[in-house]
């Protein structure tokens, strides 16, 4: 078994305790709810798009340290990105936490992907992968603009 500190790195504990962009965007152009029925975690992701660029992104909800930190870090890397860039980051992150083939991102994005590295400890704990990806699934749903709820199950 790996050391638990690799799962709960300081940056995860910090973002879990003090999530960034933890607020509602009143003038959101897009939003969606994410729900993990297994643990009752809920997240709402708010987006404010200017053209195809993410002008602002924030979230609210309740969840474990992993899911809260994942949502917090997500909002930090996504601000200012285009929709295509956001999707590329998600695809790469998803591959890394599920043990898929991550592929190579172009230089500026590779740096953002690096910021998400502390979350990839979940790949050793299959039950926790959904915690790390819940907010990203909600983001994708928000981009598709149906304002509904995505479930991990």
Partner 1 sequence: MMTASRRSVCPGGFDSRQLRHEFPIFTNNPGLVFLDSGASAQKPASVIDCVADYYRTDYANVHRGVYRLSARSTELFEEAREKVRRFLNAAEASEIVFVRGATEAINLVSQSWGAAFLKAGDEVLISELEHHSNIVPWQMLRDSLGIGLVVAPIDATGGLDLAKFEALLSPSTRLVALTHIANATGALVPIETVIRLAHRQGAKVLIDGCQAAPRLPVDVQALGCDFYAFSGHKTYGPTGIGVLYGRRELLSAMPPWQGGGEMILNVTFEKTEFQDPPHRFEAGTPDISGAIGLGAAIDFIEALGRGSILEHEEALTGYGVDRLSRISGLQLLGAGQRRLGILSFDLEGVHPHDLAQVLDQHHVAVRAGHHCAQPLLESLGYPATTRASLGVYNDERDIDRLAEAIETAREMFRR
| 119 binding partner 1? (CB under 8 A) | no
| 11 binding partner 1? (CB under 8 A) | no
Q: Are 91 and 103 in contact (CB under 8 A)?
A: yes
Q: Pick the closer one to partner 1 by CB: 40 or 100.
A: 40
| 13 binding partner 1? (CB under 8 A) | yes
Q: Pick the closer one to partner 1 by CB: 40 or 99.
A: 40
| 16 binding partner 1? (CB under 8 A) | yes
Phi then psi for 141, rounded to 5 degrees? -65, -40
Those residues whose C-beta lies under 8 Å from the C-beta of residue 153, and which sit 6 or more positions away, are: 36, 37, 38
Alpha-carbon distances, residue 23 vs 2, 43, 97 (angstroms) = 34, 11, 26
> Shortest distance, CB of residue 132 to partner 1, whole angstroms?
12
- Indicate the DSSP class of residue 122: G
Binding mask 38-77 for partner 1 (x = CB under 8 A): xxxxx-------------------xxxxx-----------
Q: Pick the closer one to partner 1 by CB: 30 or 42.
A: 42
- Report the C-alpha gap between 40 and 61 in whole angstroms: 11
Which chain residues interact with partner 1 by CB under 8 A?
Answer: 1, 4, 7-8, 13, 16-17, 38-42, 62-66, 125, 128, 131
């Amino acid at each position: 078994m790996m050391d638990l500190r690799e799962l709960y790195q300081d940056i995860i504990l910090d973002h879990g305790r003090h999530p960034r962009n933890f607020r509602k965007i009143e003038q959101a152009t897009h939003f969606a709810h994410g729900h993990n029925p297994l643990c009752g975690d809920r997240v709402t992701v708010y987006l404010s798009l200017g053209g195809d660029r993410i002008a602002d992104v924030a979230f609210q909800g309740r969840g474990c340290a992993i899911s809260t930190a994942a949502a917090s870090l997500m909002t930090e890397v996504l601000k200012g990105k285009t929709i295509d860039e956001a999707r590329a980051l998600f695809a790469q992150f998803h591959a890394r936490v599920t043990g898929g083939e991550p592929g190579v991102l172009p230089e500026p994005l590779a740096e953002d992907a690096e910021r998400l590295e502390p979350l990839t400890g979940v790949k050793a704990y299959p039950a926790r992968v959904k915690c790390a990806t819940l907010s990203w699934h909600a983001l994708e749903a928000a981009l598709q603009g149906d304002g509904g709820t995505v479930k991990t199950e």
